[in-house]
Amino acid sequence: MKIKIEKGKEYIFDIVRKKYVRNLPEEWVRQNMVAYLNKEKGYPLSLMSIEKNNKLSHINHRCDIICHDKNGKKLMLIECKSHNIKINESVFEQVLNYQKKAQAMYMLVTNGEKHFCFRITKDKPVFLENIPSYTDLIN
């Protein structure tokens, strides 16, 4: 991770947006998840979007990370929380609200320490033991 200090504030380089952003706890989780998905799971950086606007019922929401296939289909919607935020029912509700508009195949919620990856099948979440690779999702 590229880190810089400017005017007493720490910034981290976002490899997707190709710019430095404030290194706040949630941003640290987001950037580490991007790096993990890219390096360990094979998700192309060029097919990721960060903080994409997702309008639902006339309210703008920003999805932390959305991974796409080469045709633009949304494969995975990812919500990142700071490491000190517990992943609870309200976090899952937030992701499910984003999902109503995004219609991604899978959802992932993480606080950097715990990760929950799932998809909705017959209106019920089906949790996965592992985060699928990019190849697994496009096949």
Model pTM score: 0.90
Alpha helix stretches (DSSP H) within the chain: 25-41, 89-102, 134-138
Domain boundaries, the chain: 24-138
pLDDT tens-place values along the chain, 139 residues long: 999 999 999 999 999 999 999 999 999 999 999 999 999 999 999 999 998 665 444 445 678 999 999 999 999 999 999 999 999 999 999 898 888 888 999 999 999 999 999 998 887 889 999 999 999 999 8
Q: How far, in Å, are 2, 102, 104, 110 from residue 13 at the CA level?
A: 5, 26, 26, 20
Could you tell me if 55 and 84 are in contact, meaning their C-beta atoms sit under 8 angstroms apart? no
CA angle 49, 17, 102 (to 5 degrees): 15
CATH architecture assigned to 24-138: Alpha-Beta Complex (3.90)
Question: So what's the pLDDT on residue 125?
Answer: 87
Residue type, 88: N
- The pair phi, psi for residue 6, each rounded to 5°, is -140, 120
Question: So what's the pLDDT on residue 57?
Answer: 47
